[in-house]
Structure 1
Amino acid sequence: MSRKTNYRIGSHSRRRGGGRAGGREWRQEQYEEENNEEVQSRAEPSEPRGTCMSMCPARELREREAQRRLHRFEMLAGTERDRMPKADPSRTVKEYSRPAAGKDSTRPSDLRPPSVLLKTVHFLVDDIAASPTLQPWNEVYDFVFDRLRCVRQDMVIQRVSGPECVAVLERMVRFLLYASYRLCEEPLRLYDPRINDTHLQECLSWLLDCYSSGEHQHQEEFQALNLLYNLGSARALQCALELPERVRTSPAVCLALEVNRAHLERNPVRVLRMARRLDFLQSCALHRHLGACRRDLLMLYSHGHSSRNCRFPLQHLSHLLALERPRTAQLCQAVGVAVNGDWVAFSKTSYTETPLGDVPSCLSPELVDKKQGDRTVSEVIHGCA
């Protein structure tokens, strides 16, 4: 992958100020610190180094507060219903903005250094994404997605690399994978899987490129996730086969390679059987391919068990597809497979190649949900075992 890849972009900070007085003191301190930093940075080289030690630069905080552009998650408690809500400096996070002509995006006082970016990601995961009180979750996703995009923007501008860059990207990938599953049943106006996929692929590419420069603790995990998320991709397989033997022969990568092999051999029964062996996040990565895999299974059975007198138990078919009986019956009817009570009648003449988009995506309690166990969202995204 080219080192000049355009990684789009999302944000952290120290928590300060518990009320309005604390907020005013914080703003004055940040204003003085910001002016001093600008004077010191005028003669710096073209590669900027961030000096903003808060999740949101003081300049942006003042502007968004004056323009009433604060998200409800960022408002100071008690001022939400005011005509001009106040910003809570401990919860306000720099938002993503597109590069514009004449706009200086390299001002050090507006950029957060890597340590602050990592702390920002921790805040977004622990205090926002994993919060049991912030609802609905699609709004939580939109907020976290935008702020993480801005974190990447700051990283790209500063050409951040090293362990902190890897730690940030790993959490981004886990969050986007988790969200791709949790929101899969949401309507398009609330969640766009294509946009999520675009940013997830960018984060994965950048992360795998970072891994090429040395050994990292979680490399096996993310190499396996890349194989499962891009199931059947020749590029992903080639990259995996070129990995160092220590990584390529790890249990996670070996299992992901076996799933890919079953997929390339057009063996959906084996893919679904092996999917039961994946952990929670690996199952989230594979989930977007399960719909096509289940349809392939129904197509093969429609040809292999096509007979007027042949009846197949619906319960057994549900087990093979790892779906509840109502969902199995719904899928069968969508592709032209007849369902009569507790039995299914396969026929190669009645099977219909329905476009995948016409079959709604659905959650999979059997193959995904139950594997999360008692792990919190925060533990999933931080990679806690």
Structure 2
Amino acid sequence: MHLIMAGRKEDKDLSKFIVGTCMGMCPNAELRLRQREQLIHPLEMAVDSSGKRLNYAQPRAMIKEFSRSAAGHEIKASDIRPVAVLVKTVKYLLTSLCSRKDVPWALVYQFIDDRLRAIRQDLCVQGVKNITCIQLQQASVRFYVYSNYRTCEHELCDFDPYLNNKHLAETLATVISWFEDLDKEDKQRKVNDASLADASSFCNHSDESDSHSDESDQEEIWNASDDDANESKILHDAETSEKDTILERTVANEEASLKISEDSCVRDQDSCTEGSETVRNVSEAEEGIGTSTHSARTSSGITDGNKCDVAVSEYSVREEAEALYLLVHFGNEEALMHILKLPKHIRCSRLVSVATEMSIAWLTHNYCRVLRLSTFLPPLLLCALHPHLTQIQRKALGILSRAHCCKGLVYKQEDLATILCFPSSHELVEACKHYGLTVVEGGVSFMKGAFNWDSPLMKPCRLKWIDDKLATIHLHELFLPQGLSL
């Protein structure tokens, strides 16, 4: 009875969702409305042979725009796009439109941001949670991470970093929560399968025991007559085995006494060399331990050397989402505790391990290790770390102003710019002057009370070494996860 009521409740919950029937990227009703009211975006306008935009819609380029739900507004199935159409729309947005050069990037960003919100709204209305829906959400996360880096130098009228970070955090939290829901479903499914297997094995065992009960009774009747004959044989074998055991013990005791006497003679002869042998064995053991530790550190791919081009290249969508969550909320202890509670195969993966070590290094004020480990991040995760880079540089300069406080001591600008990931010495000099440090010819002079901790953070700028890494991959590889790749 309880299972029947639970099934009815589940059916009632599923009845709240709508199954979309719109097979186009934009519903017909919205297309006619926007055409009549002349609400066509420049990226949706038709283009003539000369490349001039015309003031009417191009049906194939029209995409459903985001609209807030209002009280009393009825949601129709004809206005909701199914998952297959949403996949097609995301591919069009993040490959064809992102590569447009005839329109400013700020206008492209505003258009794609609005259309991605409409896609997430259609997913929420339909209540679908599967790996394809997670990949659609992950594509939005990738777009927001990249846009935060590419548009960091724009004005607020073109790009609002607060709204972008808000959409990024909400979408990323949705991705992680859906992954956790899928894990719970898989765990429950395994428990149900195990319980069904135990029940079936119990039924089979009871059937076999019933079938064999009659045969066992018959065998007891036939074997009862042989017990008297076997009893006498068992007594005879026991007496024989006892005599053999006594003889073997006597021989073993004699051999042990002879061996002890021989060892006592040899011990006096080798007493002088025993100490050297022990030292050699201990040193060999320590050498082996050191070698194994070094090999373990080397095999992990994370070293303490200078910058290198060896970055993590193979990772799953789940590993990428968890690493992005840690970098977006960089320095947050709650985010770090969430990572430590993940399953072992996710927590110990290389990408998540690098992000975790960076977060721990930042919490322990080891800024140099944070910047060193950042070289192992793929281009997309470097974009996620970029908004925190100015804070890392500010903290590092404040620590250096106390650690290297000495009259006459000058830190070379080129070396300091390389360590702190400044684009050039010019940007380093501007940052030092902004925070109140003294800049001399060819170097920076650190004084203990010169650093101004009350000065605001400098505005982030694009970095050439990140741009070079982004230039090595295509847009569809950057934005589309593995399941949505072209």
TM bucket, shorter chain: 0.7 to 0.9
> Which whole-Å CA distance do the structure 1 matches of 2:400 and 2:39 have between them?
55
SS in 2 for 1:100: coil
Alignment check: 8 A CA contact 2:45 2:53 kept: no
Q: Which of 361, 366, 375 matches 1:262? A: 361
Alignment-derived partner of residue 106 in structure 2: 138
Alignment check: 8 A CA contact 2:435 2:455 kept: no
Alignment check: 8 A CA contact 2:22 2:77 kept: yes
Aligned pairs, number:
336
Tell me the amino acid that sits aligned with residue 279 of structure 1. Answer: P
Alignment-derived partner of residue 148 in structure 2: 180
Gaps of 5+ in 2: 1-13, 187-314
Tell me the amino acid that sits aligned with residue 97 of structure 1. Answer: S
Alignment-derived partner of residue 86 in structure 2: 117
SS in 2 for 1:86: strand
Shift of the alpha carbon at 1:130? Answer: 2.7
Alignment-derived partner of residue 201 in structure 1: 169
> Which whole-Å CA distance do the structure 1 matches of 2:41 and 2:92 have between them?
15
Shift of the alpha carbon at 1:103? Answer: 2.2
Q: Does 1:343 align with 2:443?
A: yes
* 1:322-342 Cα deviation digits (max 9, x unpaired): 111111111111101111221
Aligned 1:1-385 pairs, distance under 5 A: 45-78=15-48, 85-104=55-74, 106-131=75-100, 133-212=101-180, 213-214=182-183, 217-323=316-422, 324-357=424-457, 359-366=458-465, 368-383=466-481
* 1:321-363 Cα deviation digits (max 9, x unpaired): 1111111111111101111221111112111114444x11111
Alignment check: 8 A CA contact 1:115 1:164 kept: no
* 1:278-310 Cα deviation digits (max 9, x unpaired): 110111111111101000110011011112211
Alignment check: 8 A CA contact 1:134 1:140 kept: no
Higher helix share: 2
Shift of the alpha carbon at 1:81? Answer: 5.5
Alignment check: 8 A CA contact 2:42 2:53 kept: no
Shift of the alpha carbon at 1:45? Answer: 4.0
> Which whole-Å CA distance do the structure 2 matches of 1:300 and 1:46 have between them?
57
Tell me the amino acid that sits aligned with residue 89 of structure 2. Answer: T
Alignment-derived partner of residue 256 in structure 2: none
> Which whole-Å CA distance do the structure 1 matches of 2:328 and 2:359 have between them?
10
Alignment-derived partner of residue 11 in structure 1: none
SS in 1 for 2:439: strand
Alignment check: 8 A CA contact 1:318 1:328 kept: yes
Tell me how large the CA RMSD over aligned residues is.
Answer: 1.9
Alignment check: 8 A CA contact 2:43 2:61 kept: yes
Gaps of 5+ in 1: 1-43
Aligned-pair identity in percent equals 34
> Which whole-Å CA distance do the structure 1 matches of 2:20 and 2:52 have between them?
31
Tell me the amino acid that sits aligned with residue 264 of structure 1. Answer: L
Shift of the alpha carbon at 1:251? Answer: 0.3
> Which whole-Å CA distance do the structure 1 matches of 2:449 and 2:28 have between them?
67
Alignment check: 8 A CA contact 2:18 2:77 kept: yes
Alignment-derived partner of residue 27 in structure 1: none
Shift of the alpha carbon at 1:194? Answer: 0.6
